[in-house]
Amino acid sequence: MKVSMLSVALALAPSAMAWKEVSDCDDIKYTSVPGFFLQDDAKTDPSTFDYANFNFGLLNRTYPTDAKFDPRHKKTQWQRFANYVASLNDDCRKNKKDQTTTYKVLFMGRHGEGWHNAAETFYGTPAWNCYWAEQDGNGTATWADAQLTPNGLAQTTKANAYFKSRFEKEGLPYFESYYSSPLRRCLQTANLTFANQKLPHSNPFKPTIKELFRESISIHTCDRRSTKSQIHAYVPNFQFEAGFTEQDLLWEGKQGMGETSAHQVARSKEVIDDVFSHDDNTWISITSHSGEIGAILTVLNHRSFSLSTGQIIPVLVKAELVEPTVPTSTYASFTSEATCKSPPVTSISGQGCVCATATTTTFTTATITPGCKA
Ligand SMILES: *[C@@H]1O[C@H](CO)[C@@H](O)[C@H](O)[C@H]1NC(C)=O
Ligand SMILES: *[C@@H]1O[C@H](CO)[C@@H](O)[C@H](O)[C@H]1NC(C)=O
Ligand SMILES: *[C@@H]1O[C@H](CO)[C@@H](O)[C@H](O)[C@H]1NC(C)=O
């Protein structure tokens, strides 16, 4: 059932190939290149790290290209890093043997605090997962396709000011492409972070909404997106990827079915493959979610780095075209998630909800076989 969904992004993508003729049967291998950002250092604690205290984590260091580019030591750290990354891509283009390699800098930002985050804190995680998250709200707050709380809005103001200072004072390159999850908390975060920046005409804020940058598709109502028309009315300055459907065809909360993490990692690779095979740009902003950015970091072979709301992580990514490996394993894509008909007694890690009144849950799984789409 979910097989079709996994091939949505590539099947509907425009046919022009930007990087190289990527065939459906090629595989792309990703490496997060270490040694450029604090976030890939094991000594950096993700729970206390704040991008705004550390120049987004960019290490103060020299690059092999500095001597030629900056003989008088006048350039900023970001300008020298950008020049180094450009030289990596130039070398790949010039070297015939290496035209299967490319580099991009991905800035991945988690949305600011939404009403669903506030409600999880308010009710506690067991009551949230087992009961409240399946409701649209509680009468005071609405968290179906949640919007930002005042705290979440303040986090976007902070990001807006920090990006402005980096762009205008520190030589951070302006992004060449922007992508966002279709969920409102991300649309709002991307919009408030970038829409009123002073950007050059060559690098406008024209974000593309991509279905598969959405959060883990759990049965929670915060993971169900609005219709395409509603999203368009909400952020008329955003564009949609080709094939974006009017209705949310992926959320199965009403059937009690949520996405497995194996499926999420596989579809995250699908969307990252789509970006790398159709977008020639190097400097890319992605606004997404904690679970989804976690899955993308897995795809990129970066260490786990959990982001608090409003936090941002840059990664220098090396991508290489490789011979596909023959898939040998299948995995469950969606499984049923336990809930209670009223707020639960508690929940037990690994066992799920402990309801006040007994409810039966049926356990269904669908399997998909990953592999060559041709
Ligand atoms: C690099 O140095 C600048 C200026 O001293 C400082 O603000 C920044 O936090 C440093 N970056 C890192 C990653 O330590
Ligand atoms: C509803 O949830 C919000 C947290 O999102 C909380 O602040 C509010 O007090 C709750 N309302 C009621 C009636 O419990
Ligand atoms: C998007 O940004 C524009 C310009 O700053 C603003 O007028 C609009 O209200 C914003 N919309 C949302 C949903 O954040």
Ligand 1 contact via 154 beta carbon (within 6 Å): no
Residues that are catalytic? 111, 215
CA of 98 to the centre of ligand 1 (A): 34
Ligand 1 contact via 55 beta carbon (within 6 Å): yes
Distance of CA 328 to the CA centre of its chain: 27
Is a pLDDT exceeding 90 seen at residue 133? yes
Mean pLDDT confidence for 206-217: 98
For residues 253 and 298, what is the distance between their CA atoms, to the nearest angstrom? 25
Q: What is the DSSP letter of 137?
A: B
User: Is position 374 within any domain?
Assistant: no
The identity of residue 24, as a single letter, is D
pLDDT tens sequence across 277-287: 999 999 999 99
The atom number, within ligand 3, closest to the CA of 234 reads: 13
pLDDT tens sequence across 242-286: 999 999 999 999 999 999 999 999 999 999 999 999 999 999 999
Which ligand has the nearest atom to the CA of 37?
1
Distances (CA, A) of 192 to 5, 108, 112, 155: 30, 15, 10, 10
Query: Which tokens belong to 352?
Result: 């799920």
CA of 202 to the centre of ligand 3 (A): 21
Any residues with Cβ below 6 Å from ligand 3, and which?
A: 188, 191-192, 195-196, 234-235
Is a pLDDT exceeding 70 seen at residue 92? yes
Per the DSSP assignment, residues forming a β-bridge with 32 are 317
User: Is position 332 within any domain?
Assistant: yes
| pLDDT band of 96, cuts 50, 70, 90 | low
User: Is position 191 within any domain?
Assistant: yes
Structural domain span for residue 120? 5-368
User: Is position 373 within any domain?
Assistant: no
Beta strands across the sheet bearing 101-110: 27-32, 312-322, 101-110, 283-288, 177-180, 208-209, 239-240
Is a pLDDT exceeding 50 seen at residue 362? no
Q: Among candidates 243, 183, 214, 250, which has minimal Cα distance to 10? A: 243
Q: Among candidates 35, 96, 109, 46, which has minimal Cα distance to 318? A: 35
The atom number, within ligand 1, closest to the CA of 37 reads: 13
Q: SS3 for 259-290, per residue?
A: ECHHHHHHHHHHHHHHHHHHCCCCEEEEEECH
**Choice between 371 and 82, residue whose per-residue pLDDT is larger:** 82
Dihedral sign (CA 92, 93, 98, 100): positive
Whole-model pTM over 0.85: yes
CATH of the domain at 147: 3.40.50.1240
Distance in angstroms between the alpha carbons of the first and the last residue of the chain = 18
Ligand 2 contact via 364 beta carbon (within 6 Å): no
Which ligand has the nearest atom to the CA of 59?
1
Which of 1-15, 82-96, 167-181 bottoms out in mean pLDDT, i.e. has the lowest?
1-15
Ligand 2 contact via 353 beta carbon (within 6 Å): no
Mean pLDDT confidence for 326-346: 84
Structure confidence at residue 350 (pLDDT): 65
User: Is position 215 within any domain?
Assistant: yes
For residues 334 and 263, what is the distance between their CA atoms, to the nearest angstrom? 8
User: Is position 117 within any domain?
Assistant: yes
- Mean pLDDT over the full length of the chain: 89
Which ligand has the nearest atom to the CA of 207?
3
Is a pLDDT exceeding 90 seen at residue 137? yes
CA of 89 to the centre of ligand 2 (A): 51
CA of 121 to the centre of ligand 3 (A): 27
Structure confidence at residue 343 (pLDDT): 84
Structure confidence at residue 16 (pLDDT): 42
For residues 295 and 313, what is the distance between their CA atoms, to the nearest angstrom? 13
For residues 34 and 180, what is the distance between their CA atoms, to the nearest angstrom? 25
Q: Are 96 and 352 in contact (CB under 8 A)?
A: no
Q: Give exposure, 307-328, as e/b (b: 16+ Cβ within 10 Å).
A: bebbbbbbbbbbbebeebeeee
Q: What percentage of the chain has pLDDT greater than the value 90?
A: 75
Q: Are 214 and 247 in contact (CB under 8 A)?
A: no
Structure confidence at residue 339 (pLDDT): 87
Total tally of structural domains belonging to the chain: 1
Q: Give exposure, 227-253, as e/b (b: 16+ Cβ within 10 Å).
A: ebeebeeebeebeebeebeeebebbbb
Ligand 2 contact via 140 beta carbon (within 6 Å): yes
User: Is position 328 within any domain?
Assistant: yes
Q: Left if phi > 0, otherwise alpha if psi is -120 to 50, otherwise beta: which for 139?
A: left
User: Is position 49 within any domain?
Assistant: yes
